[in-house]
Structure 1
Amino acid sequence: MGFTSAWAISAHDDAFVARLAPRMLPLLRADHDDPLAQARRRRWQARPLPDYRTWWRPFGNGNDQDAEDLTSFRDLTCPGDRTDEMYQGGPDDTDFYLPDDVWQEAADTDRMFLSIHSKEYAVASLFHAIGPRRAALLPGWCGNFLLDSAQLRQALPAVEEALTFRPEERAAAEEQDWLDYYGDDEERVVDGPLRQLREAAEAGLGVCGVSVHIY
Structure 2
Amino acid sequence: MGITTAWSISAHDDLFIAELAPRCLPLIEAERNEPLARDRWARWTAEGMPAQPSEDVLDLVRGGEHVQRMYDGLPGGDPFSMLDDVWGQEDIGDRIFLSVRSKDWAVWSFFHAVGPDRAALIPGWCGNFLLTSAEVRDTLPEVERALTFGPVDRAVAERRDWLEYPDGEESVLDGPLRLWRLAAQRGLGLCGVSVVIW
What TM-score do the two structures reach when normalised by structure 1?
A: 0.87
Mapping 1:78-117, distance limit 5 Å: 78-93=62-77, 95-105=79-89, 108-117=92-101
In structure 2, stretches of 5+ residues that fail to align are none
Equivalent residue number for residue 55 of structure 2: 71
- Measured on the aligned residues, the alpha-carbon RMSD in Å equals 1.6
Decide which moves more: 105-114 or 149-158: 105-114
Equivalent residue number for residue 16 of structure 2: 16
> One-letter code of the match for 1:45?
T
Q: Percent identity?
A: 55
Equivalent residue number for residue 119 of structure 1: 103
Equivalent residue number for residue 187 of structure 1: 170
> One-letter code of the match for 1:199?
L
Q: Which of the pair has more CA radius of gyration?
A: 1
Deviation by residue 1:129-163 (Cα, 9 ceiling, x = unmatched): 11100000001000000001001000110000000
Shift of 1:83: 1.6
> One-letter code of the match for 1:203?
R
Classify the secondary structure of the residue corresponding to 1:160.
Answer: helix
Classify the secondary structure of the residue corresponding to 1:186.
Answer: coil
Mapping 1:1-215, distance limit 5 Å: 1-48=1-48, 50-52=50-52, 70-93=54-77, 95-105=79-89, 108-183=92-167, 185-215=168-198
Work out the CA distance in 2 between the residues paired with 1:116 and 1:109: 17
In structure 1, stretches of 5+ residues that fail to align are 56-69
Shift of 1:170: 0.2
In structure 2, relative to structure 1, the CA distance for the partners of 1:31 and 1:175 (3 Å cut) is same
> One-letter code of the match for 1:180?
E
Q: Is 1:11–1:106's contact at 8 Å kept on the other side of the alignment?
A: no
Work out the CA distance in 2 between the residues paired with 1:45 and 1:196: 25
> One-letter code of the match for 2:173?
V
Q: Is 1:10–1:109's contact at 8 Å kept on the other side of the alignment?
A: no
Count the aligned residue pairs: 198
What TM-score do the two structures reach when normalised by structure 2?
A: 0.94
Shift of 1:28: 1.1
Classify the secondary structure of the residue corresponding to 1:146.
Answer: strand
